[in-house]
Structure 1
Amino acid sequence: MSNGPSAILSSDEIGAIARDAVAEGQAGHTLAASQRIEPLRKAQRRQAEAAMALLWIVDRRSLAREEAAGILAEIADAHDDDLAILSRLGLCLEAVRDIDDLNAPPPEHPIFQTMVARLDRLARRYEGRPEHEQILRGLATAARMTARQNDAIAEASLRRLIEIDPQRSAHHYNLGLFYKTRGRFAEGVAANRAAADLSQEVVDSTEWNLGICATGALDAETALGVWKRMGQKIEHGRFGLPEGGYPACKVRLAARPLAERTADGDDPGEEETVWIERLSPCHGIVRSVLYGDLGVDYGDVILMDGAPITHHAYGDEEIPVFPHLATLLRQNYQFFDFAGTQETTRQLAGISAELDGDAVVYSHSESVKIMCANCWRNPDIDHADHETMEKHVVIGRIAAPPDLTPAQLLDMIDKAIEARGSCQLYAPDLCAAAGQSARERIDRRRFALLTDN
């Protein structure tokens, strides 16, 4: 940005620049939008109207987020005593975060904490005065955008807004949104009900948040009522919750979703994107066996938010990827690593259809491996020559419900393997759990050869 002298812009000039910049941004031309606003950036220190125009442009998401955050910092620096600008700036912080990526860590840009601190001081100073409400609105948004770092400030601001204007539906909605993302689902139900009761019409976002909070609170009747009002074909189902026929979708699981963490551990930890069997608009069963230990895995029932983070393309089909909001039920499945060989693609994974009790053989990778045939047969012999052979190797994990004994699981897998005749599976930990120590030693050796461990 140029720091040279700026001309005074007329209201018409400011409006025209702002409209052009928003048009460019809405068309996806953020660089062009950035170039358009240079006169406003130069003028905003001397003209509050130019600063407000920039805030409108940012709020319309017409600029790249990092640049938008920098512009907000410039405005905050230039107008540190303008209540209207600072309050509006607090609201604009929502536009410089990817709010659909619900479990993101706290933002790194200092403008977020700067505005929380500044608006918090102003809110205390203007308590009980007409300006208090607009300051609180900006403060509540700014605090909510910092993940779990300023929850007490966010909640206090949202509650105070309701005290100031208890008949305003939006205040109750915003409190319900806060409770939803913090895992306080029963309180979210109450807040969203209040928002709905005060609204003159049915608002989709309120209905969605009410349905999600009710599901999270295991309030099946309320959730079912919401989904039926929205025209969903859904009834009471498994786990005491509503269930309908929905296509599979994906969820980005987090070891620490926003709703389940604190200010001291305020990051998502390890994340994996997995398939789920979708039971309702906002919950489902994990149907991928995870690579890592996230504290949630195959068979667990999870709650997801309603806005997708992104979409994954599978041919012409776009599959939504939703954020993990909370884990509703951990099924405590058993897991066993395996390595195996097969002659055709997904031959081992295909035996899952022959296993009882929701057990699954889940492939994480399939590849071709060149190895020594003599080492494969007996690694304890010192081979002078290595006879090479090619193996089609599969590596993955087996999952089984807790009421299925390891011996039963191993027997089912053996029968399925025997029926195929052209593939093998080695799961040493499963053999050990089934009490087959001799087989465990053989499986562990071949597992190590196939996985290079």
Structure 2
Amino acid sequence: MRKSEAKELIKQARDAWDAEEWLRAGELYERVLAHFPDLKASAAWWYDAALAHKFLRNWAKAYELGREAAARSPRGEGDPAYWNLGIAATIQRDWATARDAWSGFGIELPDGEGQIDARLGYACVRLDTGGEREVVWIERLCPTRGRVVSVPVTGGRRYGEIVVHDGEPKGERVVEGVSCPVFDELLLFEESELPTLEVTVAAGEKADLEALLELFTGHGFGAEPASSVRMLCACCSEGTHEQERAVGAGTQQVSLAAPEEEARRLLERWAGETAIGRSWSGLGAVG
């Protein structure tokens, strides 16, 4: 291939990119890279080819091309080639490559081998299941994976599942003055076996409902009062919102993530801890 022909193909690739024709853009970049893998400009072409396949959710291809892009990128300077490789390698479960990619980006993780299960704080993820979108809280296990610690109201999603999310925040939630990013989900990485239940509870005081939530979370389960769920349009969801767990007295629905018999046992325990002011009814599975 002559350089003049390569120049024309790169132009076509960029035009396809602008038109969001990701597959065509990726294929055109690859045609050029087969002949010119190591030109000064090639690192950007490898990166764009890998990114095109990331947009297509073709993770095997994004991983393959991403390794080439990262190999031609400076280490420790926050180069996005390493971040995208970290995502693709995580999804491919190539933990050695993922660890090296995060290091190449400039992130320090605890020493170790195999699956990364660090504790990196909390963030939010916007779940997307066939058009339904819901923002939930996660405990971050690595730069791109998190365990869901909310009880989702979206059908088919569960407390405790592990998701892979993108690296670019799309909105933020502010809790007691602390800002937490909202990331878009890329895929469900590991399912949860905990079913979602609903129950109607009556709490005489705010502390009664707080005690119920703490009882379930203390046993590794989830509990989410209906009063803490806010409905936002897609545009507003990507903005900045103050977030609080609205816990109050009275009667309301609570979503639970626990085996039904275990949930029943904990509810009985909670109600029996005081003589008056606590009761529950209508425990049942959702969906």
Could you say which residue in structure 2 is the equivalent of 1:283?
Answer: 145
Instruction: Tell me the distance in 2 between the aligned counterparts of 1:201 and 1:279.
Output: 23
Q: How does 1:2-401 map to 2 (within 5 A)?
A: 128=5, 130-143=7-20, 150-163=21-34, 165-167=36-38, 168-199=42-73, 204-229=79-104, 230-235=106-111, 241-256=115-130, 269-293=131-155, 295-345=156-206, 347-355=208-216, 358-365=220-227, 392-400=250-258
Q: Which SS does the other structure have where 2:90 is aligned? A: helix
Which one-letter code corresponds to 1:280 in the other structure?
A: C
Structure 1 regions of 5+ residues with no counterpart?
1-126, 144-149, 257-268, 367-390, 431-453
Structure 2 regions of 5+ residues with no counterpart?
229-248
Any conservation in 2 of the 1:364–1:397 contact (CA below 8 Å)?
yes
Instruction: Tell me the distance in 2 between the aligned counterparts of 1:199 and 1:280.
Output: 22
Q: Which has the higher strand share?
A: 2
Instruction: Tell me the distance in 2 between the aligned counterparts of 1:340 and 1:398.
Output: 11
User: Taking structure 1 as the reference length, what is the TM-score of the superposition?
Assistant: 0.51
Runs of 4 or more, structure 1, over 6 Å off, are: none
Q: Which SS does the other structure have where 1:396 is aligned? A: strand
CA offsets 1:338-386 (integer angstroms, 9 cap, x no match): 11111222633532433475222221227xxxxxxxxxxxxxxxxxxxx
CA offsets 1:256-294 (integer angstroms, 9 cap, x no match): 4xxxxxxxxxxxx0101111111111110111112221x
Cα shift at 1:324: 0.8
Any conservation in 2 of the 1:235–1:243 contact (CA below 8 Å)?
no
Bigger-Rg structure (1/2): 1
Any conservation in 2 of the 1:224–1:235 contact (CA below 8 Å)?
no
Which one-letter code corresponds to 1:233 in the other structure?
A: L
Any conservation in 1 of the 2:212–2:270 contact (CA below 8 Å)?
yes
* Aligned length, in residue pairs: 255
Any conservation in 1 of the 2:200–2:252 contact (CA below 8 Å)?
yes
Identity %: 23
Which structure would you say has the larger RCO, counting Cα contacts within 8 Å and 6 or more residues apart? 2
CA RMSD of aligned residues (A): 2.6
Instruction: Tell me the distance in 2 between the aligned counterparts of 1:349 and 1:179.
Output: 46
Give the 3 Å change call, closer, same or farther, for CA 155–427 of structure 1 in structure 2: farther
Which residue of 259, 263, 273 maps to 1:409?
263
